[in-house]
Structure 1
Amino acid sequence: MTLEFLTYPGYRFPTEIIDHAVWLYHVFSLSLRDVELILAERGITATYESIRQWCHRFGAEFARKLRRRRPKPGDTWHLDEVYLRINGALHYLWRAVDQRGVVLDILVQDRRNATAAKRFFKRLPAGLKYKPRKIVTDGLRSYGVAHRDLLPDARHRTSRYLNNRAENSHQPTRRRERQMQRFKSSEQAQHFLSSHAMIYGHFRPRRHLMSADQYRRTRARAFQRFRCKDCRWP
């Protein structure tokens, strides 16, 4: 009896191998060559360039479908920005998380002014299809301008101490930035971090707020959503 494996159109490796490689790369701080070595230990000969293509091709689609299936985020948004140095030029990664630490969206821009803040504020409600009850930011005045123009009904609190959720959410990005020896372009950073934030966060619930049983159930649901037929490439 010959076993038939599901494959993505145009790809010779089974979907299970491609999905596992993408999962490894985004959930753990591994390089492409590290993932290649892990697969080789299991008897799978795939080059790191193939893995790079898989992550680029399927990572964004997995993230998009996981984002579509996730529960509705909270109504309190924590916003923060952190600098990225790309090819010697200073860029800024704008990030929004809810009160449970779930990443809502990210945006890489080369400015840190009111125009950049407004661009990020416009992107958030458009992607989430609803508006927040409260916004928490640091003391950057650009947030106030964007809040008054675009989300005036939401309560705005400014505090460097209440915004730890957003600031802590930058840590996985910093680890990957070091692992990848910095990003090569703003487009690469946007493409990778949009996928990474969703896939990484999907498998990293706030463990310290859960009992062991709750964590195991949450982890099982995370694997189920990632492996479900609706989350695969059509």
Structure 2
Amino acid sequence: MLAVRWYLRYALSYRDAEELLAERGLIVDHVTVYRWVQRFTPLLIDTARPCRHTPGDRWFVDETYVKVSGRWIYLYRAIDQCGQVIDVLAGEHRDLAAARRFFTRALSHGRRPVEVTTDQAAAYPRTQLTIMPTATPSLHPRSQAQADFRHLQVRSDK
């Protein structure tokens, strides 16, 4: 479990995790670490879910274009005022349907936002009016969520 946690938390490669375990006297192949990650990551997610805090009432929403397994996709992300990730959605398109699907999923995690700060993407205001009419839309050319995408873009290059 320690190797899986290191891999997920610190953006290590499987070989890096293998090397760290070897320093502690555990000889494990990097393929074994890969299999552990595939097997235990969903269990860790399910275990950690009840420990998550309720999302805040101010959301920062943005999307970016990242390469995953050689394919370029849009990655939508919402964080609250404390920096806690509310939801993430990967999709092929950046359109009204994708924005609607993202906001619907994000709202299923608890409290409805009072204010939603986004970039100037055309799909966001129309979607917000239909799904969250009470939330105050706020436009910002560079939102907090966009600044928080840096570590995701670095990891996607690996």
Q: Which residue of 1 aligns with 2:113?
A: 132
Choose between structure 1 and 2: higher helix proportion.
1
For residues 108-139 of structure 1, the C-alpha deviation after alignment (integer angstroms, 9 at most, x for no partner) is 0000000100000110111x122111111000
- Counterpart contact for 2:67–2:156, Cα < 8 Å: no
d(CA) in 1 for partners of 2:75, 2:46:
19
Would the alpha carbon gap of residues 87 and 60 (structure 1) be closer, same or farther in structure 2, given more than 3 Å must change? closer
What SS does the corresponding residue of 1:45 show, helix, strand or coil? coil
TM-score normalised over the length of structure 2: 0.92
The letter for the 1-side match of 2:155 is R
Larger radius of gyration between Structure 1 and Structure 2: 1
Give the superposed CA RMSD. 1.5
Following superposition, the deviation at residue 63 of structure 1 comes to 2.4
Following superposition, the deviation at residue 92 of structure 1 comes to 0.2
1:108 and 2:90 matched: yes
Greater relative CO, 1 or 2 (CA 8 Å, sep 6+): 1
For residues 21-62 of structure 1, the C-alpha deviation after alignment (integer angstroms, 9 at most, x for no partner) is 111101113100110111112111211111112112212321
Q: Which sits farther off after the overlay, 41-50 or 30-39?
A: 41-50
Q: Which residue of 2 aligns with 1:31?
A: 13
Q: Which residue of 2 aligns with 1:177?
A: 156
Q: Which residue of 1 aligns with 2:42?
A: 60
> Which runs of structure 2 are paired with 1:180-199 in the superposition (5 Å)?
none
d(CA) in 2 for partners of 1:26, 1:69:
18
Choose between structure 1 and 2: higher strand proportion.
2
The letter for the 2-side match of 1:169 is D
For residues 71-130 of structure 1, the C-alpha deviation after alignment (integer angstroms, 9 at most, x for no partner) is 22211110000002346543100000001111111110000000100000110111x122
Would the alpha carbon gap of residues 58 and 87 (structure 1) be closer, same or farther in structure 2, given more than 3 Å must change? closer
What SS does the corresponding residue of 1:167 show, helix, strand or coil? helix
d(CA) in 2 for partners of 1:88, 1:102:
28
Unpaired runs of at least 5, structure 1: 1-18, 180-234
Q: Which residue of 2 aligns with 1:40?
A: 22
Following superposition, the deviation at residue 178 of structure 1 comes to 2.0
How high is the sequence identity, in percent, across the aligned residues?
32
